Amino acid sequence: MSKKIISLLFILILLNSQTVWAVGYRVPGAEETYNAGNWDKEMVYGDRAFGKFTYGVWNVMVGWMELFRQPYEAYVLGDNLLVGFAKGIAYSFADMVGGALNVFTFPITALKIPLPKGGVESREF
């Protein structure tokens, strides 16, 4: 059973990984911000809690893509590749750990855990 689940997750990751190359290019440094995503703009508590939970799950699942996205973005924009690799490692770690923290704390909607560039949800793929 666990082999089937792992195989299914691997296939889902492969199918989802094409979005890592659809980079919406921007001026370097324009979005070097840390925010908690858009889920906190909901008016109803249930919508905020569900939004925080899904935001966290999404960042845990696809946060690892920053390992490839940041160096690729640095290459295309003509930036330093070593900085791109370092950002990829740091952003992937921050997105995945921050996403896990959002999943575990989703009932506490007043607690906003900021992620680099707003995490994965707020980016345009």
pTM: 0.66
Spell out the domain ranges in the chain: 2-116
Spans of the chain below 50 pLDDT? 18-28, 124-125
- With a CB cutoff of 8 Å and minimum separation 6, the contacts of 59 are 95, 96, 98, 99, 102, 115, 119, 120, 121
pLDDT at 124: 44
Q: What is the pLDDT of residues 60-69, one digit of tens each?
A: 988 888 888 8
Please provide the size of the chain in residues.
125
- Alpha-carbon gap, residue 99 to 5, rounded angstroms: 21
